[in-house]
Amino acid sequence: MSMFQRVISRYTQRLQSHPLSTLMVTNGALAVISDALAQQISKTPNPAPPEKDGFINTEAATSQNEYNFARTARLSFYGFATAPLFNAWYTFLDKRFPMPTGQTTTVGKYGLKNPAVRALIKRVATDQILFAPFAIALFFVSISLLEGASMEGIKTKFEKAYVPGLLGNYQLWPLAQLVNFFYVPLSLRVPFSSTVGIFWNSYLSWLNSKNPVAHSRMIQREAASEEPL
């Protein structure tokens, strides 16, 4: 057995014995990768130093490309905390729209009369129509609150980021969820979504960081904590 197979075997065993805690840790860890990727992509090569009181502020220019560990911690906590919610949602879909055993999702001559095809479409449609808009709203509200944003800041973020986030969701997740709901066992659906979500969460993290209003209080608070007493 190769090293990779041993790791997968140990992870599967852990998932069976401690499902929720394993999913939470997995989701939190993958969120770290997502935000690290987002910060790397959004780095500005040789950023122009901004001016402060008529002088070049080289310290501010340098900080633009410094790694934001607090931001990664917030996203990781969000991923850790929301894993049970996503697992409960996938469990609900599995029970509400059971996939008939011995069926195939190949449309064939039966078309949409195929019970497996209908169940699969119902799962994806319910997920994307009901849960996706809620999940994206939950992301922006949760991260904004962790950033210390005011209600005005949250409102501004919604106005700028929610619709682009929702439209981006519909370009990726319907196809990803078709694969997830049909081929992936229920116990692995959250890890599968989180793995696909490495790039998706990178996009959301980047979209979230574009709004300076919601960040203002957190930035001021972090700056104040660094001032010498």
Q: What is the pLDDT of residues 24-36, one digit of tens each?
A: 999 999 999 989 9
- Token pair, residue 154, equals 């949250």
Q: Where are the domains of the chain?
A: 3-226
Nearest C-alpha neighbor of 177 from the set 105, 129, 132, 124: 124
Nearest C-alpha neighbor of 90 from the set 135, 130, 123, 129: 123
Instruction: In whole angstroms, give the CA distance from residue 122 to residue 93.
Output: 9
The string of pLDDT tens digits covering residues 102-116 is 554 454 445 667 888
Instruction: In whole angstroms, give the CA distance from residue 143 to residue 139.
Output: 6
Q: Is the full-model pTM beyond 0.85?
A: no
CA 53 to chain centre: 39
